Chain A
Amino acid sequence: MKKILEVQNVTKRFKNGRGIEGINLTVNQGEVFGLLGPNGVGKTTLMKCIVALCQPDSGSIFIHGHNVKEQFEQALKSVGTLISGVEAIDYLTGYENLLLISRLYPEIETGRIEKVLEWVGMEEHKNEKLKSFSTGMRQRLYLAAALLAKPSFVILDEPTNGLDIEGKLDFQHLISRLAKEEGVTFILSTHLIEEVERLCDRVAILSKGKIIGEATKNELEKNKTFESFYIDCIKKRKEVG
């Protein structure tokens, strides 16, 4: 199976001692890969390293076979991103914010912005300025931004933060549809087990900056639930460390 994302022994430590250490992971084509862990364990740091907002202290990251550090533009050419803490422009409308992004992808056809806005249920609010948006509306817009350029690989960092129940369900349906019908590959970081359970084909558990367990949905279905797998991983980690 073709490797879409390869993270090779990536370490990133901040001055406060937090960060990630020796992360190795691979995401294959067509997979929905989940990165599960409580808040503050380094999920966003890893996501930021993947899109080069942070430079790892050591290790390499490849997307579609391109080294993110050295071939950034090629690596991110067909990648959609939603990174926690990255904000759109407040004084522009939802449509204008997507227009900014669409200009970076000359191949995007006319009407694509309207289409992705419809997918996330934001077509009615496209001409409203972002400062009037709620957290959930912003999150929907960021998801639209991630899907704008018909990406073959989408990086989603805590994508359902701030979404209401309806929004979460809409999001899950959309991700499932894109993965099944259009073969889009996803890496999704979250602290919600039910989200991973519903969406992901494979999951890695992150704790204190390290991956402490990895399993496929099929493996888990034979033996235990995602929840018991997660608890086992945490227990093992405590016993070791």
Chain B
Amino acid sequence: MLNVRNEWMKLIRKRSAIALLVISGLLPLVAGPIINVLQNRFSFTAFDGESFPLVMLSLAVSFYLPLLLALAISDVFSGEQEQKTLSFLLVRPISRMKIFKSKTISTGLYLLALLLIICISSILSGAIWLENFTVHGLFLAVVSFMLSWIPLMALGLLFMFLVQWIGSGSRALTFSIILYLAMMVVNFLFPGLARWLPTYDTNWYQRWINSGLNTLVMGRCLYLLSWCAMFYTLGYYKFSKKEF
């Protein structure tokens, strides 16, 4: 656990990481008043205080967060390899297993921080600018945001495994984005095949909200955990064999 603080420091001290955290928090704060003005002007109610955080979450998990996750992972592995900074800690008395684990944990924490910031700002924005903000809505939003961490992390672990073959941060990011877009296309065109991919579950919080913890949700939960375990192991294996 000693190195988690190091990896977190390296990740969070980048200007881009701070900027993206701030932008993530600002987006719902800006979207709230715009929606309020539009709804008042054209006299319609598409979003209320209860549904607004879930709408923001849906947008975030489908478009925004996978890209930020890909960016963080590309930086943490391929970017550091390209800048030759990865070896700075590899030549100290810490095993590669501990380094890989601490990089995974810090990426997971960064994702959690992004989800929390979007969650808080969208709840605040919904409560201030939109009608019908309820405690039930608040509870639903918090649970949904937290649940979204698991499928996104499963996607992140797939990126983490694949970028081990790429020695450049920008190429790793491009590859991850193309891969994500390809998975989204598969989701759309081949729903049967899509069930094998983590992108199938990025908005699985809706299943939890609609039907609670049933057999199907439990099955998907187990599938995602197995996916995480498999790609974490494969990612570590590849990382441990890398030469610098």
Contacts and interface: CB of A to CB of B under 8 A. Distances in A.
Contact of A96 (B9, B93, B96, B241): B9
B91 A103 contact: no
Interface string A72-112: 11111101010101111111100011001101111000000
Interface string B204-244: 00000000000000000000000000000000000001011
B136 interface: no
A59 B241 CA distance: 17
Interface stretch (B56-64, B79-87, B139-147): B79-87
Interface string B81-122: 001110111111111100000000000000000000000000
Interface string B49-70: 0000000000000000000000
A51 interface: yes
A54 B244 contact: yes
Nearest to A76: B93
Interface stretch (B10-18, B28-36, B123-131, B175-183): B10-18
A86 B85 CA distance: 6
Contacts of A55: 241, 243
Contacts, number: 79
- How many interface residues does chain B have, given as a range? 20 to 34
Contacts of A83: 87, 91
Contacts of A25: none
B171 interface: no
Contacts of A75: 93
Contact of A104 (B84, B94, B96): B94
A100 B84 CA distance: 16
B243 A103 contact: no
B87 A53 contact: yes
A103 B2 contact: yes
A89 B244 contact: no
B5 interface: yes
Contact of A89 (B5, B85, B92, B241): B85
Contacts of B14: 91
A73 B93 CA distance: 4
Nearest to B241: A55
B168 interface: no
B83 A104 contact: no
B170 interface: no
A90 B9 contact: no
A196 B87 CA distance: 27
Contact of B91 (A73, A81, A91, A97): A81
Nearest to A49: B243
B15 A87 contact: no
A89 B85 CA distance: 6
B94 A73 contact: yes
A90 B83 contact: yes
A168 interface: no
A200 B9 CA distance: 39
Contact of A100 (B6, B87, B90, B243): B6
B2 A77 contact: no
A48 interface: yes
Given A53-B244, A55-B243, A101 B87 contact: no
B39 interface: no
Interface string A45-57: 0001001111100
B2 A88 contact: no
Contact of B13 (A72, A74, A91, A106): A91
A236 to B, nearest CB: 32
A73 B95 contact: yes
Contacts of B85: 87-90
B3 interface: yes
A76 B90 contact: no
A106 to B, nearest CB: 7
A86 B94 contact: no
7 contacts: A48-B243, A55-B241, A72-B96, A76-B93, A97-B88, A104-B2, A106-B2
Nearest 4 CB-CB pairings of A with B: A76-B93, A86-B87, A81-B91, A87-B84
Given A77-B93, A89-B88, 7 more contacts: A51-B90, A72-B93, A73-B93, A87-B88, A100-B6, A100-B10, A101-B92
Interface of A: 48, 51-55, 72-77, 79, 81, 83, 85-92, 96-97, 100-101, 103-106
